[in-house]
Amino acid sequence: MSVDVLLVVEARIASVQLLEQVFAGLEQSHGVTWRTVADREITPDDLRENTVPVIVRTTTPAAHLFARTLTQLGVPYVYYTDDNFWLLDPRTPIGRHYARRSVRRQLEEVVSGAAQVVVSTQPLAQYVSSFNPAVVHLDAAVNLDKYLPPLPRDPERVVMGFAGSIGRRLDLDAAAEVFLSALERHPNLHLEVIGPEVPALAHERVTTFPYLDDYEAYIAFQRGRRWDIGLAPLRGSPVQEYKT
């Protein structure tokens, strides 16, 4: 009997879409079937004899109830995360959300109750092991084929690019003076930002684009911008040290 993977998610964010690509590959190579279901839409019919539930990042009340129900039924589940929710910046809305006692309790119950926890970095594995020792580190998936073949670059411009969630504004704030100085010294240099609005980077050669939560659309858009230089997270925050 083939394995039937049930991905339980709050929303189909980029992390979820990357996992879906992994399971799509496993479906072709090993006959694994898989489905993605929103945590608030789960029904008893979603659990089959060969189902392996994988709760992906979510610890909403619906996901928490689902995890509790699985435990009561004696059905083991997997929990996957690529973020350290315990150390999110409390100055951000999502950080304040996960700092709430009720949310923190739900998070820790879901994590501790899992038969297996899967995380994307070794530091995150070490951190989560204090809540559940059955933790394994698997690197986050990246489909490099989406970037191939490379598009021809513009010989008249050098483009630096940064992409991140809206909360990554502080990364660019910290280095705004450096970027502005580089733009003044190099007339052919341009900076493009996908996601955060950064008032400190007001310059005619700085272009900001809205955040894209669809992975396929994001990759296609980013590739089409033909960046010469890609910028990684710039600020040494606890969350980024566990995530990247």
Give the DSSP letter string of 19-84: HHHHHHHHHHHH--EEEEEEGGG--GGG--TTEEEEEES--SHHHHHHHHHHHHHT---EEEESS-
Q: For the segment 134-182, what is each residue's pLDDT rounded down to a tens digit?
A: 999 999 877 778 788 888 988 999 999 998 877 777 778 878 999 999 9
Using pLDDT thresholds of 50, 70 and 90, give the confidence band for residue 45.
very high
pLDDT at 47: 95
Question: In sequence order, what are the residues at sequence separation of 6 or more whose Cβ sits closer than 8 angstroms to the Cβ of residue 89?
Answer: 95, 167, 170, 237, 239
- Rounded percentage of the chain residues whose pLDDT exceeds 90: 69
Q: What number of residues does the chain have?
A: 244
- Say whether pLDDT at 236 is over 70: no
Show contacts of 96-105: CB within 8 Å, 24+ apart: 103/59
- The answer to whether 4-137 and 147-243 have equal CATH topology is yes
Domain boundaries, the chain: 4-137, 147-243
Query: Is residue 179 within a helix (H) or strand (E), and if so which, with residue range?
Result: helix 176-185
CB 16, CB 213: distance < 8 Å? no
Q: What is the mean pLDDT of the chain?
A: 91
How would you list the strands of the sheet with 51-56, edge to edge? 33-38, 4-9, 51-56, 78-81, 116-119, 135-137
Q: What three-state secondary structure class fits 117? A: strand
pTM: 0.85
Q: How would you class 95 by CB atoms within 10 Å of its CB: exposed for 0-12, middle for 13-18, buried for 19 or more? A: middle
Rounded to 5 degrees, φ, ψ at 17 are: -65, -35
Q: How far apart are CA 128 and CA 112, in angstroms?
A: 9
**Which of the pair, 198 or 165, is modelled with greater confidence?**
198
Judge whether 42 and 66 are in contact, CB under 8 Å: yes
Give the per-residue pLDDT at 171: 77
Calculate mean pLDDT across residues 22-28.
93
Q: What is the mean pLDDT of residues 95-116?
A: 96
pLDDT tens for 54-66 read 999 999 999 999 9
**How far is C-alpha 45 from the geometric centre of its chain's CA atoms?**
28
Q: Among 3.10.20, 3.40.390, 3.40.50, 3.60.21, name the CATH number for the domain at 4-137.
A: 3.40.50
Band of residue 235 on the pLDDT scale cut at 50, 70, 90: low
Q: What is the mean pLDDT of residues 196-222?
A: 90
pLDDT, residue 80, reads 98
The burial class, CB within 10 Å (0-12 / 13-18 / 19+), for 50 is exposed
**Gyration radius of the chain over CA positions:** 20
Q: Between these two residues, 2 and 177, which has the higher pLDDT value?
A: 177
pLDDT at 22 over 80: yes
- The mean pLDDT of 181-209, rounded to a whole number, is 94
Secondary structure class of 192 (helix, strand, coil): strand
Q: Would you say the C-alpha torsion 9, 31, 144, 219 has a positive or negative sign?
A: negative
| 147-243 CATH fold | Rossmann fold (3.40.50)
The pLDDT of residue 140 is 82
